[in-house]
Chain A
Amino acid sequence: DAGITQSPRHKVTETGTPVTLRCHQTENHRYMYWYRQDPGHGLRLIHYSYGVKDTDKGEVSDGYSVSRSKTEDFLLTLESATSSQTSVYFCAISEGKETQYFGPGTRLLVL
């Protein structure tokens, strides 16, 4: 987890409310990723970024948006949270095609 923090670490929210998760890195890595992890599905890519203001969709991007205004920060927003978005969210970073390193995760419960 060194060099990568996620906030908040735990969040409980209600259906229909907006939620923003933050990933912050101190490694100056170019690539940043948001995954969700659910039982039986493994890690699924939501969105990723390949530079400031450069982002693209992943496998499960519906209902999520992202922004990256600085190299060190990558924000994931659930515009209107649904119960199906209850999950554990991991941020990861990498330098090009090399290893991805993961943050500590955020547990989100949508009631």
Chain B
Amino acid sequence: QKEVEQNSGPLSVPEGAIASLNCTYSDRGSQSFFWYRQYSGKSPELIMSIYSNGDKEDGRFTAQLNKASQYVSLLIRDSQPSDSATYLCAVNWGYGQNFVFGPGTRLSVLP
């Protein structure tokens, strides 16, 4: 069974610091990886996708993928209180049941 794991948190960081969110997955056959942000009471929204090993940067966000270690992370630089949300990691081994979400990590950025 394909599984995606994340620390549930809460992860608390001061404003302006770097927040580091981690995700591990169970199956090496994974094809693509996604980070979603979900504010309380709202639907998940896509932050970044990453498909190959290494780093991918988009503004203050950097996704890092290491397929050999089955590990994907999200770094948020210069964290802002508006970044306080739950971050969901998703791994795609295909469609349907092969698109699996982790339980999410709750991030709190303290002013």
Please report A residues at the B interface, Cβ cutoff 8 Å.
1, 31, 33, 40-43, 45, 48, 50, 56, 58-59, 90, 94, 96-105
Contact = CB atoms under 8 A, between A and B. Distances in A.
Interface residues of B, number: 21
Contacts of A31: 95-96
Contacts, number: 56
B92 A104 contact: no
B43 A104 contact: yes
Contacts of A105: 42-43
Nearest to A103: B43
Interface stretch (B16-24, B59-67, B69-77, B97-105): B97-105
Nearest to A91: B43
A43 B101 CA distance: 6
B43 A90 contact: yes
B101 A48 contact: no
A43 B89 CA distance: 11
A50 B95 contact: yes
A70 B104 CA distance: 33
